[in-house]
Amino acid sequence: MHDFADFVLKPCIRQFGYVRILEIGAQYGENTDELAELPSVHVTVIDPCVDADLCARHAGNNRIAIRKGLSLDVLPDLTQPFDCILIDGDHNWYTVYNELRIIRERELLLRGGAIFLHDTWWPYGRRDGYYAPDRIPAQYRQPFAYQGIVRGQSALSESEGVNAQIANATHEGGPRNGVLTAVEDFLHEYDHKYLFFNLRLQYGLGTLYRRRDRECDSAFSEFHRDIQWRLRVGRVKDFVRAMSPSIYTAARRIAKTLRGERPRE
């Protein structure tokens, strides 16, 4: 999720004045460090394996609170609601669905607040991944193997693919399988209370926005439309840069002409 910090997360936090942030899954603390730079922001971190360097970096910082433990164990103990919640922990249906359920039941997200979820696209949008398979009740756990995931292929691979060190579901798709599926199942129950947006890049970033009023809801939708527009522009620029030098130069001259600028000779 750290790849989205400058492009999505911090601009959203600034624009909508989010102050209380909950981060589920900190790993080495890259996002935590980014959030700590924002003035007036208070961050609560939940992670079962908190990095020692992360604790040392923020020791004495009263705006950073670190709770060591599993999200499904810690969330029910929280009493104060948050403006923004980042979810980037276990990438499987059972964990994500129940994180969202507890957040909803405990009213841990304020109206007008947002939940950002990583891995809502390939490879874990439609496939479970388990860091600790024994923590998932058997009836909710997919058959799994420590083998690689290959794009466009449902079956796992013994010789290629990504994340072979993780217990991956042996097939892609189907009920109760994957992060995006968990979000969709949650929305099936509470669709009228949330807006959902999904960015399909860098493993995917899903955003659940809790409706507040027409003006606020419209402003958040506009923010996300702007993000999508900038992504499309960025992809076009990357495509143009990949052209041969002569075509790239010609494309720039045409673009300047269309804008009414005088091309350089």
* Residue 233, helix vs strand vs coil: helix
CA distance 70 to 211: 28
Beta strands in 56-130 (DSSP E): 64-68, 82-87, 109-118, 129-130
Task: Map out the domains of the chain as residue ranges.
Answer: 2-127+172-212
pLDDT score recorded for residue 50: 78
Q: Which residues are CB-contacts of 141 (< 8 A; sequence separation ≥ 6)?
A: 94, 128, 130, 133
Q: Per-residue confidence of the chain (265 residues) as pLDDT tens digits?
A: 888 999 899 999 999 999 999 999 988 888 999 999 998 899 999 999 877 788 888 888 899 999 999 999 999 999 999 999 999 999 999 999 999 999 999 999 999 999 999 999 999 999 999 999 999 999 999 999 999 999 999 999 999 999 999 999 999 999 999 999 999 999 999 888 999 999 998 899 999 999 999 999 999 999 999 998 888 777 656 655 555 565 556 656 666 666 555 444 4
Output helix, strand, coil percentages for the chain, rounded to the nearest 5.
Answer: 40, 20, 40
Rounded CA gap, 96 and 137, in Å? 14
CB atoms under 10 Å from CB of 211, counted, come to 14
pLDDT at 265: 45
CB atoms < 10 A from the CB of 226, how many? Answer: 12
Distance CA 129, CA 65 (A): 28
pLDDT of residue 131: 96
- pLDDT confidence of residue 230: 84
- Residue from 88, 148, 87 nearest 115 by CA: 87
Residue type for position 140: Y
Question: What is the structure's pLDDT at 263?
Answer: 45
2-127+172-212 belongs to which homologous superfamily? Vaccinia Virus protein VP39 (3.40.50.150)
